């Protein structure tokens, strides 16, 4: 990570803590690694992101329904899904630093550096040649750029082939041949690569009754697959249709890092779309576009998103692409779109002995639907939103302002009600307004400190509107409304506030862009 990127990432993390968005779990006991809690503003922001996703999926699509399945599932689910045998990470240790790494992450980071070197060459040339520079032509013809890109792609594909063939010594050899070094010790003194299963085990029932071994679900998707027939029979859906859900997932990430990017307990927002076999690529492309659109609807910099098509496929997929976001530490997976074929339904049919099929009136036959999955990490989405929206502005008077420029409808609080002074009946008037509006809006009431300081605090937590009650309010029932982004202020009538907040912060405008 460059020094600038590291600085901006540190700012995101300290801002998240200082303003009650994210805390380390069990902090007073020195914390639990890679587990985090969401504070008052974090919980509100997270709920708003979740709500935006849910409404985009379930409310906007008449062929998608939502469920909420349990975290505990029958242990055979994980045998059928392949997670017991194949849900592994390849790990490698550096003998000098004694640090443990995911071998795939080491190789991907190394390849990413080569891609970045190619980008640097292109940027340098653009500066040299000025306006007439054709970057795409340069990318296709410059030998140094071509060499960097070719090398990166060759390494990735060699490594991915080694893993697909479960050839762990070849996977290690890639790291040795490329002289990939441990970021801590700087040496290439590596152990063998070993596979490590990521599922957390637990038990259900007392020992006397004969306890059963269970797993904490590593993805929410299996709760959808095992309920496929229940939902199909009860919701009057027909193929193609989708089942969506939001819920916790657990993975024993050995090399957990990067704040809430890679956690051991996290939340997923997943949707399985059940389709006719043979239409996989049509729906795969469809959902790739729809999901990218959803991200773009937030109005963030489009250059911070890109697709990454997978070379190495999960055990259940025949095609997969990530939507990557340019986090402060570089482009990384934010969401996965997977063509899961009929793998899961067939596996569950086999292991449960229940036929998970539907009837096709055209061919007069039963068939097992194929599945396109969209799967996004809620916490990763949260991190991308914080990283994108946290801005530092230098104002005209030279002072610095920290502002969280969240899309208005995602902001933790829709408006802040602020009496100008804590006297002269201004707090009472402000409280009355708060009490009228609180039934429809998430509000903050704050009467402490000077008004300028309070505005800055609301800017820092992304509140789109500040409503200030002053002496004039007592005379003519008007207040000032301050806009977070322009800092402009307008005098408006108290009776119009409800409409103003609604128009500024309603999620409708966002949903219409999806």
Please say which residue, 43 or 146, places its beta carbon nearer to ligand GAP.
Answer: 43
Sole window of 143-151, 331-339, 349-357, 466-474 interacting with ligand GAP (rule: CB under 6 A): 331-339
379 binds ligand GAP per the rule CB under 6 A? yes
Tally of CB atoms within 10 A around 342: 20
Binding mask 417-456 for ligand GAP (x = CB under 6 A): ----------------------------------------
Binding mask 206-235 for ligand GAP (x = CB under 6 A): -------------x-x--------------
Please say which residue, 331 or 445, places its beta carbon nearer to ligand GAP.
Answer: 331
Q: How far is CA 376 from CA 303, 355, 386, 407, in A?
A: 19, 29, 16, 19
Cβ 118 vs Cβ 148: under 8 Å: yes
Give me the half-sphere count of Cα atoms (radius 13 Å) on the Cβ side of residue 194.
Answer: 11
Q: What is the DSSP string of 89-104?
A: EEEEEBTTT--EEEHH
Strand, coil or helix: 370: strand
Q: Please, what is the Cα angle at 366 between 275 and 243, to 5 degrees?
A: 35
- Report in angstroms how near the CB of residue 341 gets to ligand GAP at its nearest: 14
Helices (H), 319-400: 343-352, 378-389
375 binds ligand GAP per the rule CB under 6 A? yes
Give me the half-sphere count of Cα atoms (radius 13 Å) on the Cβ side of residue 372.
Answer: 26
266 binds ligand GAP per the rule CB under 6 A? yes
Sole window of 77-85, 231-239, 334-342, 346-354 interacting with ligand GAP (rule: CB under 6 A): 334-342
- Report in angstroms how near the CB of residue 373 gets to ligand GAP at its nearest: 6
Tally of CB atoms within 10 A around 437: 19
DSSP character at residue 55:
I
Please say which residue, 24 or 463, places its beta carbon nearer to ligand GAP.
Answer: 24
Strands 64-66 and 36-38 turn out to be unpaired
Number of residues near ligand GAP (by CB under 6 A)? 19
Which of residues 251, 288, 408, 457 is near ligand GAP by CB under 6 A? 251
- Report in angstroms how near the CB of residue 398 gets to ligand GAP at its nearest: 40
- Report in angstroms how near the CB of residue 219 gets to ligand GAP at its nearest: 4
Please say which residue, 344 or 470, places its beta carbon nearer to ligand GAP.
Answer: 344
Please say which residue, 381 or 404, places its beta carbon nearer to ligand GAP.
Answer: 381
Q: How far is CA 391 from CA 18, 58, 145, 455, in A?
A: 15, 33, 33, 15
Helices (H), 265-397: 280-296, 343-352, 378-389
Please say which residue, 280 or 373, places its beta carbon nearer to ligand GAP.
Answer: 373
Dig out the tokens for 416 from the structure.
């802040």
Please say which residue, 112 or 253, places its beta carbon nearer to ligand GAP.
Answer: 253
Q: Is 126 exposed, middle or buried (0-12, 13-18, 19+ CB in 10 A)?
A: middle
Which of residues 46, 102, 172, 262 is near ligand GAP by CB under 6 A? 262
Binding mask 285-324 for ligand GAP (x = CB under 6 A): ----------------------------------------
Alpha carbon distance 215, 198 (integer Å)? 10
Which of residues 376, 430, 437, 497 is near ligand GAP by CB under 6 A? 376
Which of residues 263, 356, 385, 404 is near ligand GAP by CB under 6 A? 263
Strand arrangement, sheet containing 415-419: 443-445, 415-419, 465-469, 478-483, 489-493
Nearest position to ligand GAP, beta carbon? 377
Sole window of 123-131, 180-188, 265-273, 274-282 interacting with ligand GAP (rule: CB under 6 A): 265-273
Nearest of 220, 361, 367, 376 to residue 279 by alpha carbon: 367
328 binds ligand GAP per the rule CB under 6 A? no
Strands 358-360 and 365-367 turn out to be antiparallel
239 binds ligand GAP per the rule CB under 6 A? no
325 binds ligand GAP per the rule CB under 6 A? no
Please say which residue, 246 or 497, places its beta carbon nearer to ligand GAP.
Answer: 246
Nearest of 196, 231, 216 to residue 75 by alpha carbon: 216
Strand, coil or helix: 405: coil
Binding site for ligand GAP (CB under 6 A): 219, 221, 251, 253, 262-263, 266, 268, 270, 333-336, 373, 375-377, 379-380
């Amino acid at each position: 990570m460059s020094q600038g990127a590291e600085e901006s990432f540190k700012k995101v993390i300290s801002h998240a803590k200082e303003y009650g968005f994210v805390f380390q779990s069990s902090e007073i006991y020195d914390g639990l690694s890679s587990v985090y809690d969401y504070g008052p503003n974090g919980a509100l922001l997270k709920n708003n992101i979740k709500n935006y996703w849910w409404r985009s999926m379930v409310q906007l699509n008449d062929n998608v329904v939502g469920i909420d399945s349990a975290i505990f599932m029958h242990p055979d689910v994980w045998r059928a899904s392949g997670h017991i045998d194949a849900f592994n990470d390849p790990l490698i240790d550096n003998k000098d630093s004694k640090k443990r790494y995911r071998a795939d992450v080491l190789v991907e980071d190394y390849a990413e550096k080569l891609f970045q070197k190619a980008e640097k060459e292109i940027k340098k040339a653009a500066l040299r040649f000025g306006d007439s520079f054709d970057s795409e032509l340069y990318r296709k013809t410059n030998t140094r750029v071509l060499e960097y890109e070719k090398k990166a792609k060759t390494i990735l594909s060699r490594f991915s082939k080694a893993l697909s063939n479960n050839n762990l010594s070849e996977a290690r050899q890639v790291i040795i041949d490329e002289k990939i070094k441990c970021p801590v010790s700087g040496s290439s003194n590596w152990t063998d690569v070993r596979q490590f299963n990521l599922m957390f085990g637990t038990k259900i029932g007392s020992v006397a009754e004969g306890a059963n071994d269970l797993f904490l679900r590593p993805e929410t998707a299996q709760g959808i697959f095992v309920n496929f027939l229940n939902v199909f029979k009860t919701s009057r859906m027909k193929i193609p249709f989708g089942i969506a859900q939001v819920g916790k997932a657990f993975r024993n990430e050995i090399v957990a890092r990067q704040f809430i990017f890679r956690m051991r307990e996290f939340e997923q927002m997943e949707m399985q779309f059940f389709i006719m076999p043979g239409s996989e690529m049509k729906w795969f492309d469809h959902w790739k576009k729809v999901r990218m659109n959803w991200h773009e609807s937030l109005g963030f910099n489009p250059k911070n998103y890109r697709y990454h098509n997978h070379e190495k496929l999960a055990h259940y997929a025949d095609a997969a692409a990530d939507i990557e976001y340019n986090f402060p530490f570089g482009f990384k997976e934010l969401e996965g779109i997977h063509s899961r074929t009929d793998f899961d339904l067939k596996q569950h049919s086999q292991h449960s002995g229940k036929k998970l099929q539907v009837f096709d009136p055209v061919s007069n036959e039963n068939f097992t639907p194929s599945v396109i999955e969209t799967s996004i990490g809620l916490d990763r989405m949260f991190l991308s939103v914080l990283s994108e929206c946290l801005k530092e502005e230098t104002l005209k008077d030279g002072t610095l302002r920290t502002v969280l420029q969240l899309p208005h409808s995602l902001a933790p609080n829709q408006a802040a009600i602020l009496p100008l002074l804590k006297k002269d009946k201004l707090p009472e008037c402000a409280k009355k307004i708060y009490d009228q509006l609180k039934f429809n809006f998430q509000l903050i009431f704050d009467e402490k400190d000077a008004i300028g300081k309070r505005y800055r605090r609301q800017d820092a937590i992304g509140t789109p509107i500040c409503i200030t009650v002053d002496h004039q309010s007592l005379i003519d029932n008007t207040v000032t409304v301050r806009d977070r982004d322009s800092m402009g202020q307008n005098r408006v009538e108290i009776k119009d506030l409800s409409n103003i907040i609604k128009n500024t912060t309603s999620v409708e405008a966002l949903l219409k862009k999806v």
